[in-house]
Amino acid sequence: MDFRSPVRRQRRRLCSVALVCGPSPDNRVRPLRTYVLQARAFMSSQSQSARSWVVRRTRLPLLSLRCVACPSKSATVGDGRFRVNANGKLLDVWLLARCVSCDRPRKLTVHERMPVRSFDPAELHSYQIDDPELVASTLLAPRLGRRNRFTLDWSHAWRLETSPAHSEEILPFRVDVVFDDPIPIRPDALIALGVGVSRSEARRLVRCDLPLNRPTRSGFTFVLLDRD
């Protein structure tokens, strides 16, 4: 026997029919756009506003990089320093790193023997003053890791900021997840963290068009369903 209220039953039925899930606008997955619009109309009609979660970097990530002097496989760029070296009309630019265990310095190649005139003066100045934003964007750019053969270790380097506490009375509701930085995180792990449940329960409680067990670096949308 179903003891739930008619309104609650209706919400559950509509939710299952509407497949309330979809990509964030940034993902631009066209075939699902109709579903997204229907889902948003549904949520709006139920006076349920979307929640916003934001994934934010709290510090620069470590580098998974084997040290040549000790067994450590981890390095850091600290607060971030560049070294710029001029050789005639050519410039080399490195981002400096060091082993977290023995402090041995490493130079990560950013630019190699590039004509000085190919640099924007403002960019060159940013290298010379160790501009924090340029340090971050340089470190997070995939080409730096490919060129210098390291991957980023994001452990304990980010946090999830969620909307006000969730309540059973207002389920289901939609959550738009925004990434401030391209941090690879499994959606089920992120949802589990935000809702306070296990990963397996998170997979059972949400509807989302992304594979929940595959890391993503960009925003997505999901709907948290009733736990019943």
Three-state DSSP string of the chain: CCCCCHHHHHHHHHHHHHCCCEECCCCCCHHHHHHHHHHHHHHHHCCCCCEEEEEEECCCCEEECCCCCCCCCEEECCCCCEEEEEECCEEEEEEEEEECCCCCEEEEEEEEEEEHHHCCHHHHHHHHCCCHHHHHHHHHCHHHHHHHCCEEECCCCEEEECCCCCCHHHCCEEEEEEECCCCCECHHHHHHHHHCCCHHHHHHHEECCCCCCCCECCCEEEEECCCC
Cβ distance to Zn ion smaller for residue 78 or 211: 78
Least Å from the CB of residue 177 to Zn ion: 37
Joined together, the tokens standing for residue 66 give: 């084997």
Cβ distance to Zn ion smaller for residue 107 or 186: 107
Residues 94-113 that bind Zn ion (CB under 5 A): 99, 101-102, 104
Cβ distance to Zn ion smaller for residue 67 or 108: 67
Taken in order 193, 198, 204, 210, is the CA torsion positive or negative?
positive
Among 72, 74, 151, 218, binds Zn ion (CB under 5 A): 72
Cβ distance to Zn ion smaller for residue 99 or 177: 99
Cβ distance to Zn ion smaller for residue 83 or 104: 104
Count residues contacting Zn ion (CB under 5 A)? 8
* Binding segment toward Zn ion, per CB under 5 A, in 12-20, 37-45, 92-100, 105-113: 92-100
Least Å from the CB of residue 205 to Zn ion: 44
For 103: left if phi > 0, alpha if psi spans -120 to 50, otherwise beta; the answer is left
Least Å from the CB of residue 170 to Zn ion: 52
CA distance 220 to 208: 8
* Binding segment toward Zn ion, per CB under 5 A, in 68-76, 106-114, 142-150, 180-188: 68-76
* Using rule CB under 5 A, residue 70 touches Zn ion: yes
* Using rule CB under 5 A, residue 64 touches Zn ion: no
* Binding segment toward Zn ion, per CB under 5 A, in 25-33, 71-79, 179-187, 216-224: 71-79
* Using rule CB under 5 A, residue 67 touches Zn ion: yes
Least Å from the CB of residue 74 to Zn ion: 9
Binding site for Zn ion (CB under 5 A): 67, 69-70, 72, 99, 101-102, 104
